[in-house]
Amino acid sequence: MSDTRTRGRLPVTVIGGYLGTGKTTLVNRLLRAADGQRLAVLVNDFGATPIDRDLIVSADGDTLEISGGCVCCSYGSDLMDTLMALPAQRPDIERVVLETSGVALPGMVASAVTLLPAYRIDGIVVMVDVETVRTMADDAYLGDTITRQLGAADLVVANRCDLVDEASLQQTLAWLAVQSPAARILPATRADIAPDLLLGLRDTALPRLSATLATPGAPDAASLYESLELDVPEDIDAAELGRRLSAPGTGVLRAKGILNGVALHVVGRRFEVDEAPAGAKPGRLVVIGLRRDFDHRAVAEALQPRLSTSLRSF
Amino acid sequence: MTPSPITIFRARRILTMNPARPEATHVAVRDGRILGAGPLEELAGWGPYTLDDTFADKVLMPGFVEGHSHAAEGTFWRYTYLGRFDRMDPEGKVWPGAQSIEDVVTRLQEAERQLASPTESLAGWGLDPIYYGDRRVVRADFDRVSTTRAVGVMHASGHIFNVNSRALELAGLLRPGVNHPGIPLGDDGLPTGELKGPDAMTLVGAHIGFDREALANDENGLRRFAKLCVRQGVTTATDLANLLPDDAVSMMARVTGEAGFPVRIVSFRRFQALTPEQAVEIAVKLKAKSTDRLRLGAVKLFVDGSIQGFSARLRWPGYYNGAPNGLWYTPPEAISGLYKLALQKGVLVHSHTNGDQATEMALDCLEGALLEQPARDHRFTLQHCQLADAAQFRRMARLGMCANLFPNHHFYWGDQHYETTVGPERAMRMNACATALASGVPLAIHSDAPVTPLGPLFTAWGAVNRRTASGRTLGTSEAISVADALRTITLGAAWTLKLDGEVGSIECGKRADFAVLEDDPLEIAPENLKDVRIWGTVQGGRLFPANGA
């Protein structure tokens, strides 16, 4: 990983959501799926987020070394200090996964991260428990915290779908769509979502993509997603492409493309144009969507160099 | 075995806080503890004594107990004081209040001239621009102090920094495109130099000398804090939220153990990044390290933020200016879990609640915890608890909860609360000391130093007079008597720390801790209570004149 310094800003995935929504399960899943990618997982505290024991190589105070070159740190109230120190302490780190405390507002945390030039926000993921989220949202103490968390989400993971019947699930998904009108909503069970949705689509990992999505033991997850690999025309503007892919209605959960010397990252309703990693092959775009709402035509149209809005709205 | 020598102090008047004998003329001391207070002939019965007339013209009270302060007040005096009001430093020098932004800049320029190296940073504290009209302090103001060194000033509230261009540059913030609610931008698209909230503040803190390392484990700061305590008649002071790493505990044990250290420090472990199990385990271990002058083993919990920072959690109808509700700092599951386990293990927990919704949450959590883990005498205390209403105080009384209210806020921010944060009606009932006492809630009052200056008599004055900086009186119905106020700054605060059996009154068996006063707080006009002159203290029978060696 000698090319770290040419990779541009470190992507940060913020994972928010109240206690018991599956954040810890997701964090452990991501560590297992890192597959050579060096993650720094920052958690508020290890007590609230127990890292699976078999993943831990060694422990030293606030830092756990994780098999595969990942590291896990608890930050307590010192998130900014931890982030400021990280690049120098661990120059090999390629991506940060930041789990916020249950009552934190992930949008505010993300906003703080943007003050640090070494980082960019890759996406804000908010987890909810579909069985309890609507009751929680009516709670006199916590309701506004829950809805503010949802309002900041790029992706909402509607977790614990196995605990509710189909009718109630559909009602809750519809309710979530109102709370987070711009976010993409992902139904899940045991926080089982395709890790690539959060860990990014590495250039070297393209062939791996479909395999990941069809992970044995997760048939539901595999059938949920669909991915496309597309050639990108030379003359398309990265920011414009990002805007189109992240617009409501496309069903795009995640996309990554290398074009005109820059990298485009899309996570749900958020996109960012960053400098391209050294040696990345240009001209390719990978898009993942929820099979249920993936709008192939919208994706194809997004790649048209010029597109009048009237054409799209017919 | 020969008993230790006895000293009998003669005083003009001794206010004992012992209802069986509220006043006395003499107090007998042996081994740092009180044999008794009363007439000389009665005390002479203890055996041979030395009569000490040092206090013959002074008034003795039980040493004041500051139930909510931070030893960081001692650390802050290494920075330039820029507050709006006069403030006494640990050496007794009174720094006059800054009258204008121009005045603030001039003082920084003077401090800047004392610095040798051209790159050394310059820091100040106590700034409160609300007193200087609508104009904000901007980086150009402090660029007049220096363009080569980082200059930064912490606001009195502790929630905002103002810095110069160099500090922004060092923090990587002197650039367009900064998008953060805590960092206002000027017409040029660059940050104005005002940085609000912990995240934005952390970025520049290290560049202006306010880094964590400077503030933690500060031996000099602790010594200076102790000097301030002596000047204010304080013999027991809390250090209410410390992470208490091992090296800090060792330092504190060593310094407080020195023969000349004049204060009993009660340091609470901050509940942060811990499970309830871990916190209680740490507290139990810390408790075993306690000494006479360093008391450990209690836990401090943050439920919400601050009212003037709009991060306190308010019940309906929320903030007067329509600001969105504040933030929860700890989830209710963690609060309940901590309360229950702490009740089980006998660990004292004090909870910071500023807004009334945070208070309600803490009451709900304690009520639930007590059902599962009944405890007769827990003394769990709500710290600040500024917006609690009468029903909440009645509930506190039933649950055995204590309140440590914050009357200093009336003076420093009462006008702001009246006009902006909570509006007139709630500003009038804020820090409802009279309601707390009438409801039977054990009451303490505090300074939260360094947020406001350490000084229990000033705090008592605030509870008695409820006067704001502009002269407004906030809710006379919540004013308490001088006698009640004096009780809250002695026995009241001691009760919340479970120290009322040791300190807080002058009677047989207790520690010989006295506040030594030049004026009689019961004779002086109540509106002048804050002006009572203080000679110093006696702590554990040792004399500490404020202007002594």
State the ipTM, two decimals: 0.88
Q: How far does B242 lie from chain A, in Å, by closest CA?
A: 12
Tell me: do A286 and A228 sit in the same domain: yes
What average pLDDT score do residues B281-295 get?
A: 98
Tell me: do A182 and A208 sit in the same domain: no
Tell me: do A13 and A46 sit in the same domain: yes
Chain-chain contact of B181 with A108 (C-beta, under 8 angstroms): yes
A112 vs B contacts (CB less than 8 Å): 180, 199-200
Whether the CB of A57 is below 8 Å from some CB of chain B: the reply is no
- Confidence at A5, pLDDT banded by 50, 70, 90: very low
Question: Residue A280 has which token pair?
Answer: 């990345």
- Confidence at A314, pLDDT banded by 50, 70, 90: very low
Q: What is the pLDDT of residues B151-163, one digit of tens each?
A: 999 999 888 999 9
Whether the CB of A92 is below 8 Å from some CB of chain B: the reply is no
**How big is chain B by its Cα radius of gyration, in Å?**
23
Question: Residue B83 has which token pair?
Answer: 């507050």
Residue A198 covered by a domain: no
Which has the closest alpha carbon to A282: A300, A304, A262?
A: A262
A24 vs B contacts (CB less than 8 Å): none
Chain-chain contact of B357 with A47 (C-beta, under 8 angstroms): no
Tell me: do A264 and A189 sit in the same domain: no
A80 vs B contacts (CB less than 8 Å): 198-199, 202-203
Burial class (CB in 10 A: 0-12, 13-18, 19+), A189: middle
Which has the closest alpha carbon to B516: B483, B542, B487, B485?
A: B542
CA distance B70 to B235: 14
How do B402-405 and B443-445 pair as beta strands? parallel
How do A270-275 and A262-267 pair as beta strands? antiparallel
Tell me: do A208 and A95 sit in the same domain: no
- Which domain-ending residue is among A160, A193, A226? A193
Chain-chain contact of A77 with B198 (C-beta, under 8 angstroms): yes
What average pLDDT score do residues B62-70 get?
A: 98
What average pLDDT score do residues A271-288 get?
A: 82
CA distance B33 to A312: 87
Is residue A308's pLDDT more than 60?
no
Tell me: do A171 and A120 sit in the same domain: yes
A63 vs B contacts (CB less than 8 Å): none
With helix as H, strand as E and coil as C, how does A217-246 read? CCHHHHHHEEEEEEECCCCCCHHHHHHHHH
Report the chain B residue with the minimal C-alpha distance to residue A107: B180
> For B338, what's the count of Cα atoms within 13 Å in the CB-facing half-sphere?
30
Give the H/E segment covering residue B342: helix B332-345
CA distance B440 to B248: 38
Tell which of A75, A84, A103 to mutate to test the B interface (max B CBs under 10 Å): A103
What average pLDDT score do residues B244-267 get?
A: 96
Alpha-carbon separation of residue A199 from A33, A295, B28, B55 (angstroms): 9, 23, 73, 73
Tell which of A79, A115, A144, A148 to mutate to test the B interface (max B CBs under 10 Å): A115
Q: Give the count of Cβ contacts less than 8 A between chain A and B.
A: 73
β partners of residue A265: A256, A272
Are residues A228 and A256 in contact, defined by beta-carbon separation less than 8 angstroms?
no
Average pLDDT, chain A: 84
CA distance A73 to A86: 10
pLDDT at B26: 98
Which has the closest alpha carbon to B178: B161, B194, B157?
A: B194
- Confidence at A219, pLDDT banded by 50, 70, 90: very low
CA distance B61 to B529: 14
Q: What is the DSSP letter of A21?
A: S
Bin B209: left if φ > 0, else alpha if -120 < ψ < 50, else beta: left
Are residues B22 and B505 in contact, defined by beta-carbon separation less than 8 angstroms?
no
- Confidence at A204, pLDDT banded by 50, 70, 90: very low
β partners of residue B83: none
Chain-chain contact of B274 with A47 (C-beta, under 8 angstroms): yes
In degrees rounded to 5, what are phi and psi of residue B244?
A: 50, 55
pLDDT at A227: 83
A79 vs B contacts (CB less than 8 Å): 199
Tell which of A23, A42, A141 to mutate to test the B interface (max B CBs under 10 Å): A141
Whether the CB of A216 is below 8 Å from some CB of chain B: the reply is no
Whether the CB of A105 is below 8 Å from some CB of chain B: the reply is yes
pLDDT at B162: 97
A115 vs B contacts (CB less than 8 Å): 173, 178, 180, 183, 199-200, 203
Tell which of B168, B274, B330 to mutate to test the A interface (max A CBs under 10 Å): B274
Whether the CB of A314 is below 8 Å from some CB of chain B: the reply is no
A216 or A81, which is more confident? Answer: A81
Chain-chain contact of A79 with B199 (C-beta, under 8 angstroms): yes
- Confidence at A30, pLDDT banded by 50, 70, 90: very high
One CATH from 3.30.1130.10, 2.60.40.10, 3.40.50.1970, 3.20.20.140 for B215-539: 3.20.20.140
Those residues with Cβ within 8 angstroms of residue A131's Cβ, 6 or more apart along the chain or in another chain: A160, A163, A164
Q: Which stretch, A177-186, A258-267, B410-419, has highest mean pLDDT? A: B410-419
Q: How far does B66 lie from chain A, in Å, by closest CA?
A: 26
Picking from B203, B324, B331, the nearest residue to A80 by CB comes out as B203
User: If you search the block for the tokens 């993971």, which residue do you land on?
Assistant: A157
CA distance B180 to B196: 10
Is residue B212's pLDDT more than 90?
no
Residue A62 covered by a domain: yes
Chain-chain contact of B212 with A74 (C-beta, under 8 angstroms): no
Those residues with Cβ within 8 angstroms of residue B84's Cβ, 6 or more apart along the chain or in another chain: B97, B98, B99, B126, B128, B131, B156, B469
CA distance B432 to B387: 8
Q: How far does B35 lie from chain A, in Å, by closest CA?
A: 47
Tell me: do A9 and A76 sit in the same domain: yes
Q: How far does B243 lie from chain A, in Å, by closest CA?
A: 11
- Which domain-ending residue is among A175, A193, A211? A193
Q: Which domain covers residue A130, as residue numbers?
A: 1-193
Is residue B1's pLDDT more than 90?
no
A141 vs B contacts (CB less than 8 Å): 313, 328, 332, 357, 360-361
- Confidence at B506, pLDDT banded by 50, 70, 90: very high
A140 vs B contacts (CB less than 8 Å): 357
Window from A81-85, A245-249, B89-93 with minimum mean pLDDT: A245-249
3-state SS of chain A: helix, strand, coil percent to 5?
Answer: 35, 25, 40
Query: How many other CB atoms sit within 10 Å of the CB of residue B542?
Result: 15
What is the residue-wise DSSP string for B197-251? HHHHHHHHHGGGT--HHHHTT-HHHHHHHHHHHHHTTEEEEEEEEE---HHHHHH
What is the residue-wise DSSP string for A124-141? EEEEEETTTHHHHHT-TT
Q: Where in chain B is the domain with CATH 3.10.310.70?
A: 80-209
Window from A303-312, B358-367, B454-463, B540-549 with minimum mean pLDDT: A303-312
A116 vs B contacts (CB less than 8 Å): 172, 203
Chain-chain contact of A19 with B331 (C-beta, under 8 angstroms): yes
Tell me: do A266 and A306 sit in the same domain: yes
Q: Where in chain B is the domain with CATH 3.20.20.140?
A: 215-539
What average pLDDT score do residues B398-419 get?
A: 96
3-state SS of chain B: helix, strand, coil percent to 5?
Answer: 35, 20, 45
User: If you search the block for the tokens 């305590």, which residue do you land on?
Assistant: B229
Window from A245-259, B54-68, B426-440, B514-528 with minimum mean pLDDT: A245-259
Chain-chain contact of A116 with B203 (C-beta, under 8 angstroms): yes
Window from A224-228, A310-314, B240-244, B398-402 with minimum mean pLDDT: A310-314
Picking from B325, B333, B334, the nearest residue to A144 by CB comes out as B325
Is residue B15's pLDDT more than 50?
yes
Tell me: do A54 and A8 sit in the same domain: yes
pLDDT at A217: 37
Are residues B320 and B308 in contact, defined by beta-carbon separation less than 8 angstroms?
no
Query: How many other CB atoms sit within 10 Å of the CB of residue A122?
Result: 27
Q: What is the DSSP letter of B488?
A: I
pLDDT at B447: 98
pLDDT at A216: 35
Whether the CB of A18 is below 8 Å from some CB of chain B: the reply is yes
Q: What is the CATH number of the domain that holds A213?
A: 3.30.1220
Alpha-carbon separation of residue B262 from B9, B240, B256 (angstroms): 18, 18, 8
Q: How far apart are the first and last CA of chain B?
A: 34
Sheet holding B402-405, edge to edge: B64-66, B234-242, B264-270, B294-302, B349-353, B381-384, B402-405, B443-445
pLDDT at B208: 93
Picking from A115, A141, A145, the nearest residue to B178 by CB comes out as A115
Which has the closest alpha carbon to B313: B418, B388, B212, B393?
A: B388
What average pLDDT score do residues A180-200 get?
A: 88
Instruction: Output the pTM of the full model.
Output: 0.91
In degrees rounded to 5, what are phi and psi of residue B264?
A: -90, 120
Q: What is the pLDDT of residues A175-186, one digit of tens each?
A: 999 999 889 999
pLDDT at A206: 38
Average pLDDT, chain B: 95
Tell me: do A28 and A62 sit in the same domain: yes
Tell me: do A46 and A89 sit in the same domain: yes
Number of domains in chain A: 2
A48 vs B contacts (CB less than 8 Å): 275, 334
Classify the C-alpha dihedral B311-B314-B317-B321 as positive or negative.
Answer: negative
pLDDT at A201: 63
Q: Any idea which fold B80-209 has?
A: Diaminopimelate Epimerase; Chain A, domain 1 (3.10.310)
**How big is chain A by its Cα radius of gyration, in Å?**
19
In degrees rounded to 5, what are phi and psi of residue A83?
A: -65, -40
B49 or B132, which is more confident? Answer: B49
Q: What is the CATH number of the domain that holds A151?
A: 3.40.50.300
- Confidence at A311, pLDDT banded by 50, 70, 90: very low
Q: What is the pLDDT of residues A107-138, one digit of tens each?
A: 999 999 999 989 999 999 999 999 999 999 99
CA distance B503 to B491: 7
Whether the CB of A85 is below 8 Å from some CB of chain B: the reply is no
What average pLDDT score do residues B359-368 get?
A: 98
Is residue A2's pLDDT more than 50?
no
pLDDT at B145: 97
Whether the CB of A80 is below 8 Å from some CB of chain B: the reply is yes
Picking from B172, B272, B278, the nearest residue to A117 by CB comes out as B172
Give the H/E segment covering residue B343: helix B332-345
Tell me: do A267 and A303 sit in the same domain: yes
Chain-chain contact of A44 with B277 (C-beta, under 8 angstroms): no
pLDDT at A1: 35
Report the chain A residue with the minimal C-alpha distance to residue B362: A141
Chain-chain contact of A141 with B199 (C-beta, under 8 angstroms): no
- Confidence at A50, pLDDT banded by 50, 70, 90: confident
Tell which of A24, A77, A119, A270 to mutate to test the B interface (max B CBs under 10 Å): A77
Residues from B contacting A (CB-CB < 8 Å) are 172-173, 178-181, 183, 198-200, 202-203, 212, 272-275, 277-278, 313, 324-325, 327-334, 357, 360-361
